[in-house]
A and B are shown apart, each in its own frame.
Chain A
Amino acid sequence: MMSRPGHEHSRAAGSRITHATPGSHLTYASLLEDNAEDLYENAPCGYLFTLMDGQIVKANRTLLGWLNRSHEEVVGHMRFADLLTVGGKLYHETHFAPLLRLQGEVSGIALDLKAADGTRLPVLVTSTVMTDNDENPVMVRTTVSDARDRRSYETELLRAREEAEHERERFKRLASTLQRTLVPPALTPPPNLDVAAHYHIASRDEVSGDFYDLFPLVAGGGWGLFLGDVCGKGAPAAALTSLARYSLRAAAVYDPDPVTVLNNLNTVLNTARYDEDPRFCTVVFGKLTPEREGFTVTLASGGHPNALLLRAHGTAEYLPTPGGQLIGVLPDPDVATTTVHLTAGDTLLLYTDGLTEAHTSANADDRYGDEALLNFANVLAPGTAAETVAAIAELLDAFGDGLDDDTAVMALGVPSR
């Protein structure tokens, strides 16, 4: 029942297709005929009308064809939700139906129709509520369109997204495992010295190479300590950190003199050339020697930020090591040294530049800086190693997103008597 030739309107439409081959215009005309019934029944989408309780009162031929059901089976006997899979029913009840009531229309919802033989057809459903003269809802008009292609594309997108999330998780785990191995699980301080350390991770997504350690020296007694920061981020930085750590430990066994240790590390970094990456670090290496009263600390610095000393009497000062050069760049870098005596109540603080380079405002140039850190330490002093590290950790947390680099801090304190 596609056409009703002879209809006035269709003849008018046909007359416009004058370029068609002779004799064919009548066929076009009948196809283009403004036949609402045909348009409804055979539209390229499913149509249905339901009462407010979901009961189907009208359904077009396209929809019935998709469902493989007869008019009698569906109309007057099924509800809209009955056409859906069970999961779809749940979704319909918890989302679709409430939204339709709340908004008067719902558009583009992805659902699956379940045909008589159990096969599923992915569709997109749009419904609008029809109201009477008093704005009371009376019926729902629904169109259903075939969404097989779209759904398979979306499924592909979802799968890709899940895969990406999975990979990201895996990478995060890898990064945090790697990160954990870069800091020692425990520090071994000498008797009568307190030590505390903290590692602030700026990003869970990327390994950054700060490192520290404190350990007894075999040759000549005393204790060795170091804290440093390698260039770069990610896997190359992690590899370099690991190299720096074990080179420092090995060099300290060979000869614990701080300058010699850093020179040895420099030789290692200069010879271990990996093509793609520059390999250098800033590092401070110290040798602790117990005295009758407290400890003597000799620090050698290769381009590392100055250590801070919090005195027992309540002031703080930097221990300048000017002129020290980066380790791993030059064949024979300058290494600056300083020696300090720690007595009861004194605390020595070592840190990486994540702390002083932290952004303090949206302006990229506003950094926390050396002066602010000195003021902070002056207020803090005197403080035990644990108190000092806790205060710095709190400060690092307070920087929030302003802290975009990992930061390591280590404090050594002689307990007050």
Chain B
Amino acid sequence: MDALRRNHVVVTGQEEGPVIMLANGFGCDRNMWRLVAPVLARDFKVVHFDHVGTGASDPSAWSDERYSSLDGYAEDVLEICRELGLGPVVFVGHSVSSVFGVLVAGWEPELFEKLVLLTPSPRYIDDAGYRGGFSAEDIDELLESLDSNYLGWSASLAPVVMGNPERPELTEELTNSFCRVDPHVARVFARATFLSDNRADLPRVAVPTRVIECAQDVIAPREVGAFVHESIPGSELVTLDAIGHCPQLSAPEITAEAIASFAARDR
């Protein structure tokens, strides 16, 4: 299948600039980057896409089997990189997308020039000698929240909207559209995200990596940031003076700067 169409890949920014690929995490769609992308687009070529099952991706591409594991999403990233053929990219993964970056870096390191992990967590559930911040019951509670909030989603509208990425006005009419996901898809994605354990994949990352964490983040607390940093050989850790799990929205200037300064280094 054509990965560029499947994930509705869009390339903006500088034609000749170094390539930055932005991948959003679980929850909302590519709009997560809309305060940061224009800043990056001044100096870089910027690649955006939506994970299958979200945003403007092809709804027919969804498969319970493929997307029940993080490998499925990571394989999509790998296929997009191959099809784009833009050479090694600077991959910026937010939240669970940082894990996709880690996986692809382990499989085919030559696809990435650098890796930026924004508020990453390799495992959300506490384990012996490791504090991810959550218990299995907490994750069940999240699934409950998903079940009680079908954000702006309705079975009758979703195919129309999702099938018309070229007509964004259709989406504008609906509230909460940035986080619109088929509740079933949201459930599968949430389970894959919050029940995963990718700690063992971190040491395999051999491309230059910058970990960016927030000063206060309930989803990826400081000790998780430190764990990721210590587990990836030669990585660096930047702590943003920001609160919450999505600094690209709450503190876009310093987030863009933290990405751009790393992406531009050694050129």
Does A367 touch B at the CB level, under 8 Å? no
Pick the contact of A93: B147, B148, B149, B219 (CB < 8 A): B219
Within the complex, the shortest CB–CB distance from B168 to chain A, in Å, comes to 14
Answer whether residue A183 sits at the interface, using C-beta atoms and an 8 A cutoff: no
Report yes or no: A54 in contact with B149, Cβ–Cβ below 8 A: no
* Chain A, Cβ-Cβ closest to B194: A90
Residues A99 and B250 in contact, CB atoms below 8 Å apart: no
B144 at the interface (CB under 8 A from A): yes
- Residues from chain A with a CB closer than 8 A to the CB of B217 are 93
* A interface residue count range (under 10 / 10 to 19 / 20 to 34 / 35 or more): 20 to 34
**CB of A173 within 8 A of chain B?**
no
Please indicate the chain A residues that have their CB under 8 angstroms from the CB of B178 in the complex: 98-99, 102-103
How many chain B residues have a CB neighbour from A under 8 Å? 38
Say whether, besides A53-B244, A98-B27, A102-B34, A87 and B175 are in contact (CB < 8 Å). no
* A94 with B176: CB separation less than 8 A: no
Tell which of A53, A54, A94, A102 has the most Cβ of chain B within 10 Å. Answer: A94
Q: Give which listed residue, A85, A89, A106, contacts B176 with CB less than 8 A.
A: A106
Which residues of A61-116 have CB atoms within 8 Å of chain B's CB atoms? Answer: 81, 85-91, 93-95, 97-99, 101-103, 106-107, 109-112
User: Using Cβ atoms and an 8 Å threshold, which residues of chain A touch B127?
Assistant: none
- Indicate with 1 or 0, residue by residue over B219-248, a CB within 8 angstroms of chain A CB atoms: 100000000000000000000000111100
Contact in complex: B145, A90 (CB < 8 Å): yes
| Contact bitstring B169-211, A, C-beta under 8 A = 1, else 0 | 0000001101100000000000000100000000000000000
B218 within 8 A of A: yes
Q: Which residues of A contact B175 (CB under 8 A)?
A: 103, 107
Whether B138 lies near A95 (C-beta < 8 A) is: no
Cβ-based interface call for B93 (8 A): no
CA A85 – CA B25 in complex, angstroms?
Answer: 21
B244 touches A90 (CB 8 A): no
Q: Which of A52, A87, A99 contacts B179 (CB 8 A)?
A: A99
- Say whether B9 faces chain A, with CB atoms less than 8 Å apart: no
Q: Are B244 and A93 in contact (CB under 8 A)?
A: yes
**A-chain residues with CB within 8 Å of residue B146 when the two chains form the complex:** 91
Residues of B within 8 Å of A87, CB to CB, are: 138-145
> Whole-angstrom distance between the alpha carbons of A25 and B35 in the complex?
56
Residue A158 is within 8 A (CB to CB) of chain B in the complex: yes
- Nearest-Cβ distance from residue B192 to partner chain A, whole angstroms: 14
Check B56 for interface membership: any CB of A closer than 8 A: no
In angstroms, Cα B146 to Cα A88, docked, is 9
**Cβ–Cβ contact B176 & A88, under 8 A:** no
CA distance A318 to B217 in the complex (A): 75
Contacts of A151 in B (CB 8 A): 148
The 7 closest A-B pairs by CB, nearest first: A87-B141, A94-B27, A91-B145, A101-B249, A110-B148, A86-B138, A87-B142
- Give A contacts to B, CB under 8 Å: 52-54, 81, 85-91, 93-95, 97-99, 101-103, 106-107, 109-112, 151, 154-155, 158
Additional A-B contact list (10), CB under 8 Å, known A94-B26, A94-B28 = A53-B250, A89-B218, A90-B219, A91-B146, A91-B149, A94-B25, A94-B245, A97-B244, A107-B176, A110-B148
Task: Give 26 pairs: A residue, B residue, CB < 8 Å, sorted on A.
Answer: A52-B250, A53-B243, A86-B135, A87-B145, A90-B139, A90-B218, A90-B219, A93-B217, A94-B26, A94-B95, A94-B245, A95-B151, A95-B179, A97-B244, A98-B28, A98-B246, A99-B178, A99-B179, A102-B31, A102-B34, A103-B176, A103-B178, A109-B151, A110-B149, A111-B145, A112-B145
